[in-house]
Structure 1
Amino acid sequence: MTDPVLPQHLPAGVTPIVVAHGTRSPVGVATVAAIADLVAQRIGPTRVAFVDVLGPSPTDVLRDLDGPAVVVPAFLASGYHVRVDLPEHIRDVGRENVAVAPALGPDPVIAGVLLARLREAGWRPRDAVVLAAAGSSDPDACADVRRAADMLADLTGGRVDVGYVTTASPSVPEAVAAARGRGARRVVIASYLLAPGLFHTRLAGYGADGVAEPLGADPAIADLVVARLVAAALPAAVH
């Protein structure tokens, strides 16, 4: 059974909103803006909101809108911000005409971009791979990261270990050391991060032979955002 083919547009009058975590890194903020610009090229004007660090918040953006909206969490796992924080923002507005899409990750599209970033970083098929994620105390979010590693392993044809920059274990340095302990001559880190920032900067000091760039403003990521937005908006448009 094949997946249904979705239209590449939103119902009339629906505003798309891309919600990201937020970062103090100007390059990270610019990356989120660039992703939103790519989305806008595909489906029209797109708003951006952040759940932490800087604004506008989802509450701010929704209060500025009169019509219906559809929100996509630009997160790579469904942790606290996706399951608790974002719904609270929407409840605070008291609007019923807001649809919410699932988080971006894990997804095979993201795995494909991760593989491309690995190749750009000099990864070769016999190199060990560590998927580096931000980290979370939420077991479901960590399970999402493990699924992302499995999807990447399907493409690399080899084992992909998980390491976390903060909070969860094993840490990225521990995962790199474990790969070397199994006899890996080269270890390359795949960055399970949407945009550059403090976490990606730290990866360079964790003992790997190469560090891939974050996913970034890749057209495939923009296409995935659009697919999430359209799929979430269609049921709301029926009612």
Structure 2
Amino acid sequence: MTKITGIIVPCYNEYNRLPKEKFCNFLTNNPSYHLCFVNDGSSDNTLGMLNELRQFNPQKITVLNLEVNQGKATAVQTGANYLADLDFVENIAFLDADLSTSLEEMDNLVQKLNSNPQLTMVFGSRKADESANIDRNIIRKFLSNFVGFFIRFILQLPIKDTQCGAKVFRKSIIENVYSQKFISRWLFDIEIFLRLKKHIGLKDLLNTISEEPLDSWIEVEGSKITLKDSLLIPINLLVIWFSYLKIRTRIKSASTIFNLKAEYNMVK
């Protein structure tokens, strides 16, 4: 039986940027995919454009609509929870609407996941040593490396690129990743890894995820992250760090109390 992968495409004011023909051509040539476009409260006619796109293949294209803009994290979460309820979907992925990472690259990630039953998550990397043809603004590259240092400090994981917008998961872990609302609108990728680390444990996590180098990645103009969002990144990182640090502390405290009670009962 063919494994169907649902790809979430979060959309905010993408009316003039979304490459409709590429999505249509990909579906025609790759029947094992289902596209789930999530309109994140766009102020332009993105929703109308997506509904027209759906007519190309109503069986393979879903359009979800958030009436108020809530950020990429909520858009992806909405799509993930919707796809998780579809019996025919086995893998769930997300990809940026501008296709800075191409659909063909996503297909490579999915094939990697399907070929190894031990893996539960595969994600693209623009910073892996083998990555090639990565076209990025030099200033943004510097800022990305600067922010990446703090992200690696928070995660304590040997991951080079957490923020690449191309990730695919087995359906079995979706509830652990997407059941709770994310703290950050844009840095939710970090929370994904923190949630998996908490759920699976560090050792098992490293054996069940795979960071794959991208053959190509192109930075498309028209980023939805504003200057204000960029300035708030350090604050958001601190909020995420302290929030998940508190969770770990509560878990350790509860575990300590449980062990003490067990020892006390044994002494009695």
User: Do both proteins adopt the same fold according to a TM-score greater than 0.5, normalized to the shorter chain?
Assistant: no
**TM-score between the two structures when normalised by the length of structure 1:** 0.32
Which structure is richer in relative contact order (CA contacts within 8 A, separation 6 or more)?
1
